[in-house]
Amino acid sequence: MEDLLTLIRDRAGDAPVATGLILGSGLGHLADSVDGVAIDYADLPGFPHAGVSGHNPKLVIGDLEGTRVAVFGGRAHYYESGDPRAMKLPLEVLRALGAEELILTNAAGSLRDGMGPGELMLLSDHINFSGLNPLIGEPSDTRFVNMTDAYNRDMRAALDDAARAQGVTLHTGVYAWYSGPSFETPAEIRALRVLGSDAVGMSTVPEVILGRFLGLKCAAISTITNMAAGMSSEVLSHEHTKAMAPIGAAKLEKVLRAYLSRG
């Protein structure tokens, strides 16, 4: 860990980072908007080999709208390795660089009629439908993390304000984590609707659990790329996710920029 921090600070300087951003499928290009230094994950020992197409596997540290950010252009998913702790080291690094808050983005399917492809949803809460937990095996009582208000109320209010100021509709809802990599069945989606989910995706939840464990304030926004399985005639595929994500990404970028510029 110390070696990693030295390597990062040698390249990017040692001014503390304020905000971390993890970018989801088809959203990785936002990393290129940062005025700063990009380091490939391949140069960061222990960082995941982000093997999912549509991700941009680099860490960019620099200025975005007057805030010093660390942007993770890609994430490792549980379904790549079977390890729900896949993003633990990057998040530990983020915390050690001084970050106090983390904003996660993801591509997700909608379970709510009236929230369609290209729209954005701010997470108010999540359902860990996978039942996996990245804190299993943590040795001390710090593993008993409180997950009430895991999605920070102040950050949510500020993101809502940012969206309103930009004229962007930001829905609010509950995200269910499905392990992937297969998509859900229509029966699973019907079950998730009954359980109170508004969107479904294959990421974010383990990172929010780890983020809260590390003391990071967390917020997350889904870019809706499709109606979930069985809710429309479109055929779900990763190609479709990557093709649709940029539509929401443009709005997401506006919201994130407005949020970061609020001073």
Candidate segments 79-87, 130-138, 159-167, 198-206, binder of ligand HPA by CB under 6 A: 198-206
Is 238 assigned a catalytic role? yes
Is 249 assigned a catalytic role? no
According to the binding rule CB under 6 A, does residue 201 interact with ligand HPA?
A: yes
Candidate segments 2-10, 84-92, 93-101, 194-202, binder of ligand HPA by CB under 6 A: 194-202
Give the integer Cα–Cα distance in Å for 165 and 171. 15
Which of 38/176 has CB closer to ligand HPA?
A: 176
Candidate segments 11-19, 78-86, 144-152, 221-229, binder of ligand HPA by CB under 6 A: 221-229
Is 184 assigned a catalytic role? no
Distances (CA, A) of 111 to 106, 198, 231, 253: 15, 5, 8, 23
According to the binding rule CB under 6 A, does residue 197 interact with ligand HPA?
A: no
* Of the residues 23, 122, 200, 255, which one makes contact with ligand HPA according to CB under 6 A: 200
Is 178 assigned a catalytic role? no
Could you give the count of Cα atoms lying within 13 Å of 242 in the half-sphere of its Cβ? 10
CA 157 remoteness from chain centre: 18
> How many Cβ atoms sit within 10 Å of the Cβ of residue 124?
17
123 and 38 in contact (C-beta within 8 Å)? no
Q: Rule CB under 6 A: which of 105-134 touch ligand HPA?
A: 107-109
Is 55 assigned a catalytic role? yes
According to the binding rule CB under 6 A, does residue 241 interact with ligand HPA?
A: yes
Q: Under the rule (CB under 6 A), what is the footprint of ligand HPA?
A: 107-109, 178, 183-184, 200-202, 225-226, 228, 236, 241
Instruction: List residues with catalytic annotation.
Output: 25, 55, 77, 79-80, 107, 202-203, 226, 238
